[in-house]
Amino acid sequence: MENISAMKASDKLGVLIVGLGGAVASTFVIGTLSVRNGFSKPIGSISQLSEITIKKDGVITEPKIKDIIPITPLENIVFGGWDIFPESVYDAALHAEVLTKEDIEKVAEEAKAIKPMQGAFDQEFVKRLNGTHVKDTTNKWELAQQIREDIKNFKKENDLDRVVIIWAASTEIYVPMTETHMTIEALEKAMKENSPEIAPSMCYAYAAISEGVPFINGAPALTVDMPALIDLSVKNKVAVCGKDFKTGQTMMKTVLSPMLKTRMLGLSGWFSTNILGNRDGEVLDDPDSFKTKEVSKLSVIDTILEPAKYPELYGDIYHKVRINYYPPRKDNKEGWDNIDLFGWMGYPMQLKVDFLCRDSILAAPLCLDLVLFTDLAQRCGSFGIQTWLSFYFKSPMHEMGKDPEHDLFTQNAIMRNKLRSFIGAEPLDALV
């Protein structure tokens, strides 16, 4: 049973979004404003719509999660954030063309008032973008200090009790973990020396944790997934989680791979390709940024199928992932999968999936759930990596030396039992 005495959800919660002007962030903010004003329903949000089975003192009930778990009400949320372009959430939403103008106009007054602070930007890490609304600093240590000041000022100006930061910005180039990322002393030294091993996202994560603010990494970059910042999060009693929102194609992999394994069907190859036309697609058109995404996407199948245990079924899988920038599609991504499997006596079969999804429409409710659940975790005394939130990520943060859980349904069961623990309810084995 967690620390219930800390569970106060009635206070104002600040949500600071890195990448406030992007398609995901603007869709998340506009959608939340729309829901709390009664213009739409929070479809896709587990925290708002899903029921949960609660067994307590021998009595079984099935309330909605938001009615039994003390998460912050939507009306108590205050939005803000950073971006490398100056447009308001209203203008960003119009530019993204995810939502109709009619839906955006319903919350226009609130959306126009939400404008980004200058973003931390280094074009070496996102080569396809040219930021015009960026911080001017001499090194990355100073950059992190400016972000810390932004957090303090936002909290003070809006009379907030708590703040959560979520990264919804573009994917940075691949940065491998080195000794720089092992200790906080080495990390701070590298920041002061303006090391190329320190990405802007790391400055945000460092600033958040230093200010006692939970940090959620929605992109596949290293960012907070390193010993230095994980240790700091435990020391400062801060909840962290990530990485890379699990929305379309990878979500399908975490459903289909367990099906193959449960039926003991073999897998020869899995080819995945995507076409996408928004800012994310443009950024991922750069090979260095794509490598970061590729590492995240490729990790799922092997972890679920366990080829070392079942070499005759999964010992020789050819797994290929491609992302193609195709401007006409804008945010309406198409994820196409060709799966070559085999069954009884080794006879081949094929499975093909064509998911014509809306990337930001799938990501927005994940952002809402993650903000509310991460805030809940910290209030209840759950610090460091929140592995129970793996359900929401392609490449879930996990303890060193352990494999992450990728099976969507197992992740769901783990998440629900963690929610039950916050109110002293009994854990259950079923996915309810």
pLDDT at residue number 5: 46
SS3 readout for the chain = CCCHHHCCCCCCEEEEEECCCCHHHHHHHHHHHHHHCCCCCCCCCHHHHCECCEEECCEEECCEHHHHCCCCCHHHEEEEEEECCCCCHHHHHHHHCCCCHHHHHCCHHHHHHCCCEEECCCCCCCCCCCCCCECCCCCHHHHHHHHHHHHHHHHHHCCCCEEEEEECCCCCCCCCCCHHHCCHHHHHHHHHCCCCCCCHHHHHHHHHHHCCCCEEECCCCCCCCCHHHHHHHHHCCCEEEECCECCCHHHHHHHHHHHHHHCCCEEEEEEEEEEECCHHHHHHCCHHHHHHHHHHHHHHHHHHHCCCCCHHHHCCCEEEEEEEECHHHCCCCEEEEEEEEECHHHCEEEEEEEEECCHHHHHHHHHHHHHHHHHHHHHCCCCEECHHHHHHECCCCCCCCCCCCCCHHHHHHHHHHHHHHHCCCCCCCCCC
In the chain, residues under CATH classification 3.40.50.720 are: 4-245+360-422
* Superfamily name and number for 4-245+360-422: NAD(P)-binding Rossmann-like Domain (3.40.50.720)
pLDDT at residue number 2: 46
pTM to 2 decimal places: 0.92
Q: In the CATH hierarchy, which fold is given to the domain comprising 249-356?
A: Dihydrodipicolinate Reductase; domain 2 (3.30.360)
Question: Looking at the predicted structure, is the pLDDT value of residue 297 above 70?
Answer: no
Assign 273 a pLDDT band (cuts: 50, 70, 90): very high
pLDDT at residue number 1: 40
pLDDT at residue number 6: 54
Tens digit of each residue's pLDDT (9 = 90 or more) over 315-374: 999 999 888 888 898 888 899 999 999 999 999 999 999 999 998 999 999 999 999 999
Q: What average pLDDT does range 254-260 have in this prediction?
A: 94
In the chain, residues under CATH classification 3.30.360.10 are: 249-356
